[in-house]
Amino acid sequence: MFNQDTDRFRTFGRAKGKPLSPAQAGLMRDVFPKFDIGPIIEKGENPFQNINGPLWLEIGFGGAEHLLWQAEQNPDVTLLGVEPFLNGVAKAVRGISDKGLKNLRLHRGDARDVLAVLPDACLEKVFVLFPDPWPKARHHKRRIINEQFIQDLHRVIRPGGHFRFGSDIIHYVDWSLTRIKAHGGFGWYPQRQSDWRARPDDWPSTRYLEKALREGRHGHFFEFIRK
């Protein structure tokens, strides 16, 4: 894998869950290769070099509910979804097939490999929604929101572009806000508490968020502007 640093910490957990159904396996064999930018990333090339129009990136799309909704609602935007978990990628491919979407690209792997090949200021929006919080103190080094990651996002998002971050773990919220503020390259302009406690209309719910709410955890929704 391009830019794979064997010494860097892994930021995600398992890469596979239960075995794929025959239908899912068939979609991964026949449909996924049409949207897979993995071979381009492995060559160290920009996967968007032949694409015109706005470019958005979702890092860690989980069950793909948000990714598919955004692609369906924004047909003039090209979205790249990055997810290491095979079963999540299979759900995205199922959605692409069922909805007939043409404006999605997928990468099953580490988002840092994607960021490494993107040119400066190429993205209008980046979504990092409810990433693994790695709650144990000894695992905090694995959190995807860190100083280098924020620097990488700042490089690839155009001035005036948006970085959306969400979490239901307040300690991770504090962790992330501290590091984003310290970087200084993103503005955040809340006017009231509901600006980060209420989910925006163009931020669809997901099964993960609904589970968090059932378990008594509140979602926190942040939109940062790249200076």
Active site positions, annotated: 132
The answer to whether the CB of 147 falls within 8 A of the CB of 206 is no
The answer to whether the CB of 82 falls within 8 A of the CB of 88 is no
| 209 CB-contact burial (10 Å; exposed 0-12 / middle 13-18 / buried 19+) | buried
18 Cβ contact partners less than 8 Å away, ≥ 6 residues apart: 87
**Per-residue three-class SS string for 30-62:** HCHHHHECHHHHHCCCCCCCCCCCCEEEEECCC
